Amino acid sequence: MPAHMKMRFAAFALALLAATPSVARADATAFLGRNSADDKRAMTRGFAFGVSLLIVGFEFEYANSSEELAEARPSLRTTSGNVFVQTVGLPGFQLYATTGTGIYRERLGNDQETAALLNNGGGIKINIAGPIRARVDYRVFSLKGNPRHSTVQRLYAGLNLAF
């Protein structure tokens, strides 16, 4: 191969490498929050694990709240897969919007409903120190099937570890 062809090939390979997106980033969040439906509020806890490619990412999330028979408040367990878009390059924080689908199980005494769910929401991740961030998230869940409450809102805060 002539020298000028080798130089062109090397320049093309270098340009292709520079144009390739950076390595995927991942993070994990443990959170506590509140689910609310009508006038009923329940403590919820859960975790999320996400992978992002610069602006777009994917997340798996699990959350659970306990039932309260005396208040006729059902337990709610949600598991969802989400797609999100996020900001990049902002100093000290990152905003995101998310949408997803999954399944839920609602239980109160002997009554139980398991069906599909849709969720939409967003939040912010705030840098604390190194890879540790605070995360605040708001979601609206649309529960399919025959739940006691077809729309549930959730607000949570948690610790997020980026790696």
Asked if the structure places residue 3 within a domain, the reply is: no
The model scores a pTM over 0.75 = yes
If you search the block for the tokens 């659970």, which residue do you land on? 64
- Give, for all 163 residues of the chain, the pLDDT tens digit: 677 667 777 666 655 545 545 567 999 999 999 999 877 789 999 999 999 998 999 999 999 999 999 989 999 999 999 999 999 989 999 999 999 999 999 999 999 999 999 999 999 999 999 999 999 999 999 999 999 999 999 999 999 999 9
Number of C-alpha atoms within 13 angstroms, CB side, residue 22?
A: 8
38 within a domain of the structure (yes/no): yes
At residue 126, the pLDDT reads: 98
Q: Are strands 40-53 and 111-129 parallel, antiparallel or unpaired?
A: unpaired
Q: For residue 39, which amino acid is it?
A: D
Q: Is 41 contained in some domain? A: yes
Judged by phi (left if over 0) then psi (alpha if -120 to 50, else beta), residue 37 lies in beta
Which CATH number characterizes residue 119's domain?
2.40.160.20
**Strand ranges for 8-150 from DSSP E:** 25-37, 40-53, 56-65, 75-86, 93-108, 111-129, 132-143
Residue 130 lies in a domain: yes
Is residue 4, in this structure, part of any structural domain at all?
A: no
For residue 27, tell me if it sits in a domain: yes
Half-sphere exposure of 32 (CA within 13 A, CB side): 1
Task: Give residue 86's domain range.
Answer: 23-162
Query: What CA–CA distance (Å, rounded) separates 69 from 108?
Result: 7
Is there a domain that residue 72 lies in? yes
Q: How many domains does the chain have?
A: 1
